[in-house]
Structure 1
């Protein structure tokens, strides 16, 4: 009896320190950030309570509105583009093409890279003085121009392109796994009834992948909100602050301009956005599990 208790107690003792540290460093700092967001903190933490003054200041700043606009552009373009391309690639691979394993690996390879590497590579590729534009000029196409990276109106779309390139393979893998889980007899029965393959996928197969669509949307949306490393590597938030998003805004306020309270307020708004995405997902997952039981 005592040996059995010891066997059940030891795993708990082993896990407890890591669990406590994780709770302290994750949720503890989240709470501390929330506290700082309602104080007058600047270069160093200052616990003078100012209520919602930092939030009021935040929503009055043009740079914050630019960051929100860029997040909307990047989020819609990145999530929508990666999912659309992922579905298209998954449907193509679902046709049992030759060398499927090799092709799948090629599509998935960008996901093995960090956003920093992706941003750096695309920064070289899109730089007018050393990338695609220079290559076209060297080949004799002198009229070719592609200066999106240095154009304040178009630079955010360079970030969208780089993000889609990295995450489309990940979306493809999720959708392909979902497609392989669909019974082939359903497709064969529809073909016998005279339905064309595109119509079968559009009317039968893709609607059956609704849970996969939802899961992919949640994961990619979460990545879009935290897109700090990709933007810093690719544009550093520039030209000026034309490609700022809330994550880079928070970094600039907290660590460059020394406005810790304002940076904490922006971080809290990011946390609220992530929670608005994650909580419904967790609720739906728990609800589906309860229905299964």
Structure 2
């Protein structure tokens, strides 16, 4: 039989072992994530150019940031992109989820087909859609070879329409993921509730409008948070698809931050734009996390 001291040592070891194992990864996360967030915030209040400096200038970088036409273009583009991206992905994802929830044949084959685009990186998606939308080698060229000479689709070269090509590519990639979220929500609804409504004479339209869709509120909220987060951080898709062009027609806050930090050597301004993006993401995530914690406590 083990001595009491040995038992006590084993108990303490079992309590501390998970903490010791997780400590290195926790320390790395704190340093490289939260440490660099703090570093970026500090840089935004300095006159840093090519290299960091500790010449504190207050809110001058933020004042200059919001006076730059390129930043206003980036804000307008992210508003257009995020709105269309979130709305269209939500509508298509919900429609696909309702379609698959009808227990159709071939569901096991259709689900991975819809989800496959999400397995690709945004770089791959952007490159593929760039080729597809390029008038010289893509869809327009194919239509001309098939004899439809009047067909024209040059959005990717247009200053006013290029932003919508990014919406198309992003929706293509993310709609399947949103579908999976809604499908999981639909499969979690109690069938007894639906049967009771059908017995009461509810039509399919009334069933979905008054019962199913309201019960999918957590899925709607999760989809909104994830899509908004992806939209605000959009960089690689923009760079691969349009490179921020033509001109600055598809400039986004993320591409603006990179160009001002590493190309124009305006690290202070770039850091201030990064902080604005951080505040925007926090404004979305904090209420969501608060509501989740509140529901768990109740």
Q: TM-score, normalised by structure 2?
A: 0.96
Q: What's 1:108 paired with?
A: 115
Q: Return the alpha-carbon distance in structure 1 between the equivalents of residues 130 and 188 of structure 2.
A: 39
Q: 1:245 and 2:252 equivalent?
A: yes
Of 166, 171, 183, 1:176 maps to 183
Q: What's 2:221 paired with?
A: 214
Of 233, 236, 243, 1:236 maps to 243
Q: 1:186 and 2:155 equivalent?
A: no
Q: What's 1:8 paired with?
A: 15
Q: Return the alpha-carbon distance in structure 2 between the equivalents of residues 203 and 290 of structure 1.
A: 27
Q: Shift in Å at residue 203 of structure 1?
A: 1.9
Q: What's 1:142 paired with?
A: 149
Any runs of at least 4 consecutive aligned residues in structure 1 with deviations exceeding 4 A, and if so which?
none
Q: Return the alpha-carbon distance in structure 2 between the equivalents of residues 183 and 97 of structure 1.
A: 20
Q: Return the alpha-carbon distance in structure 2 between the equivalents of residues 186 and 126 of structure 1.
A: 47
Q: RMSD value over aligned CA atoms?
A: 0.9
Q: Which is greater in Rg?
A: 2
Of 20, 31, 34, 1:24 maps to 31
Q: Shift in Å at residue 256 of structure 1?
A: 0.8
Q: TM-score, normalised by structure 1?
A: 0.97
Q: What's 2:97 paired with?
A: 90
Q: What's 1:45 paired with?
A: 52
Q: Return the alpha-carbon distance in structure 1 between the equivalents of residues 295 and 42 of structure 2.
A: 36
Which has the higher mean CA deviation after the structures are superposed, 43-52 or 188-197? 188-197
Q: How many residues end up aligned between the 2 structures?
A: 291
Q: Shift in Å at residue 192 of structure 1?
A: 2.9
Which has the higher mean CA deviation after the structures are superposed, 280-289 or 181-190? 181-190
Q: What's 1:287 paired with?
A: 294
Q: Return the alpha-carbon distance in structure 2 between the equivalents of residues 263 and 280 of structure 1.
A: 27
Of 75, 78, 87, 2:85 maps to 78
Q: Return the alpha-carbon distance in structure 2 between the equivalents of residues 35 and 165 of structure 1.
A: 38
Question: After superposition, what is the alpha-carbon deviation per residue over 1:241-262, rounded to whole angstroms, capped at 9, x for unaligned?
Answer: 1101100000000011111000
Q: What's 2:5 paired with?
A: none
Q: Return the alpha-carbon distance in structure 1 between the equivalents of residues 123 and 249 of structure 2.
A: 19
